[in-house]
A and B are shown apart, each in its own frame.
Chain A
Amino acid sequence: MNSETGSEDPFDCIFMADNRYHCEAYKEGLAEGTRQGLLEGMSHGRMHGARFSTEMSFYYGFACAWKCLLQNNTDAKSRKRLRTLEALAVHIQAFPHNDPQHATLQQEVEKVRAKFRQVCSMMNVPADFREYVTVAAGVSF
């Protein structure tokens, strides 16, 4: 088995065969496991990333659109609303969206959700958009 050198004790081949076979198979398994792990991880990651992005992007688009609609209003109420909308937009952009291992991701998401509810309450609109969009079942905010 030590065909490369041919100079070693042939009994070594027998004694070490056990290890050798295990390791050869291990390497082959490692390559296959790595492939499987990457593909499985990517599938699941894609779903989680998509759900996260759907929600955060929704909030961001919502805040930006309202900002545009209210920007020319000068009354105190509108100014206050604009400040809250601005805070929501800034908060959404304040943390990385493409890092699922970001240390404070969950807290940031909760903060954004709370801010969004606050915005909805100020605008007198319901925070549950499933009422507005009946076909959007499965994507819950």
Chain B
Amino acid sequence: MSWVKSVSVVSEDVFEEDGSDIILQNKEWNNNMSKRVKDGYRDGVDAGKDASLQRGFNVGYREGVEKMVAVGQLKGILSALQCWCQLQHPGSPAFSSISHLLQDVSRHEDRVIERMKMNVGQQPPASVGEITEAVEDLQMEHSDTGCGGGGCSKDNCCRKEQTPEEGPTALQTPCQSTTHPTFSAEESVEPLLKRCMDLVVELGLPEELLHNLQQLRSL
């Protein structure tokens, strides 16, 4: 808060008197201004959070949905195959092959979810593009409202437009310093899809199933 330090200099220029009263007044002035700065900062943080939480949630939600589509469908397909196998060919070796693969898919799913849980409360990975887009939208909203909401009484005092790069630049910092664990190779669903396709071929199951699994690869 560099501007707080300038207060004492300014007040010396204005009150050209000496004596202990000045020192006391300076102290009081500094305390008051410091309190105003703290209040302003806190109000700003609250307002910023209120305005951006939902938008951030929506962006993250989309990301989470996309991430789990393939593994979720694969698990559904294998569960159906397992049920079918149990009903049609009870006790066949195919049942245990399907069960093993299903367990591996479930473990994979659990790992991905666990990793996401660990990221909650930490600085999560995020795509710069999505955050930039979200911030640009927010800036448009803020330029309409200013710091309003009871914070400022003087017209236009907070309505100066932020420089376009101000928000995104601030937001890029955590992204640059964070790796992207949600997209690491070990979490790839591809080997599991491959195993499932091999199994479908081995069991002589309908061609359409292979087609469905093939589509999951592109998700």
Chain B 129-151 interface 0/1 with A at a Cβ cutoff of 8 Å (1 = within): 00100110010001000010001
Given known A29-B43, A42-B59, A43-B120, contact A69–B206 (CB-CB < 8 A):
yes
A contact face: mostly helix, strand, loop, or mixed: helix
Q: Does A24 contact B (CB under 8 A)?
A: yes
Chain A 1-25 interface 0/1 with B at a Cβ cutoff of 8 Å (1 = within): 1000000001101101111111111
Q: How far is the CA of A33 from the CA of B50 in the complex (A)?
A: 8
For B, the interface residue count at a CB cutoff of 8 angstroms equals 103
For A, the interface residue count at a CB cutoff of 8 angstroms equals 78
Q: Is the CB of B102 within 8 A of A132?
A: yes
Q: Is the CB of B81 within 8 A of A65?
A: yes
Nearest opposing residue in chain B for A130, CB measure: B106
Q: How far is the CA of A53 from the CA of B63 in the complex (A)?
A: 10
Q: Is the CB of A39 within 8 A of B174?
A: yes
Interface centre among A1, A14, A30 (most CB of B within 10 A): A30
Report B117 CB to chain A, min CB distance, Å. Answer: 7
Chain B 15-55 interface 0/1 with A at a Cβ cutoff of 8 Å (1 = within): 00000000000000000110011111111111111111111
* Cβ-defined partner of A16 (8 Å) among B48, B154, B167, B209: B154
Q: Does B14 contact A (CB under 8 A)?
A: yes
**Chain B positions within 8 Å of A125 at CB level:** 83, 87
**Chain A positions within 8 Å of B124 at CB level:** 39, 42-43, 46
Given known A52-B65, A54-B72, contact A45–B1 (CB-CB < 8 A):
no
Q: How far is the CA of A37 from the CA of B174 in the complex (A)?
A: 13
Q: How far is the CA of A27 from the CA of B84 in the complex (A)?
A: 61
Q: How far is the CA of A22 from the CA of B32 in the complex (A)?
A: 11
* Cβ-defined partner of A49 (8 Å) among B4, B39, B61, B158: B61
Given known A23-B158, A30-B44, A36-B48, contact A45–B56 (CB-CB < 8 A):
yes
Nearest opposing residue in chain A for B83, CB measure: A125
Q: Is the CB of B113 within 8 A of A26?
A: no
Q: Is the CB of B40 within 8 A of A21?
A: yes
Q: How far is the CA of A28 from the CA of B119 in the complex (A)?
A: 26
Report A131 CB to chain B, min CB distance, Å. Answer: 11
Q: How far is the CA of A18 from the CA of B40 in the complex (A)?
A: 10
**Chain A positions within 8 Å of B106 at CB level:** 133, 135-136, 139
Given known A34-B48, A44-B120, A53-B64, contact A101–B151 (CB-CB < 8 A):
no
Q: Does A103 contact B (CB under 8 A)?
A: no
Q: Which 9 A-B pairs have the closest CB atoms?
A: A33-B48, A29-B44, A41-B56, A61-B76, A57-B72, A49-B64, A45-B60, A25-B40, A37-B52
